[in-house]
Amino acid sequence: MLGRLNHVALVVPDLQAACAHYRDVLGANVSAPQSLAEHGVTVAFIDVGNTKIELLEPFGEGSTILPFLAKNPSGGMHHVCYEVDDIRAARDQLIAGGARVLGDGEPRIGAHGKPVLFLHPKDFFGTLIELEQV
């Protein structure tokens, strides 16, 4: 079911500062920030060749990552994203195996313009999992 690791997501308190730090200190190629109001985040991506690092900053008062940032004011790792060929088939297989899909269970369009779902971290040893259809 799982394909390659698409990205590792890091919540940061200041996206501009994080982008500048990755660019200036590590020499990373950082994308322009993109606001995703429907997900309550602003994102930027760092391409590291074999995968990406996603930097996330809260967008708006209802951002789902605000509680994470309140518990981790300096930021930290938020989730890992794996690619799947068929997100609905993957969802159905995971549910049949006892995994919980967050939200209403229907895929939403993510930052890459592709369908995504999130899986409950308690079902995956404390790690929030995002699945993205490729």
The whole-angstrom separation of Cα 31 and Cα 38 is 20
**In DSSP terms, which residues pair with 108 in a beta bridge?**
116
Token pair belonging to 116: 């995504």
3-state secondary structure (DSSP) of residue 54:
strand
DSSP designation for 50: S
| Annotation marks residue 130 as catalytic | yes
Cβ-Cβ contacts under 8 Å for 26 (sequence gap 6 or more): none
Question: Residues 57, 83, 130, 132: which is the catalytic one?
Answer: 130
Burial class, 96, CB count within 10 angstroms (exposed 0-12 / middle 13-18 / buried 19+): exposed
Token pair belonging to 130: 């995002």
Positions annotated as catalytic residues are: 130
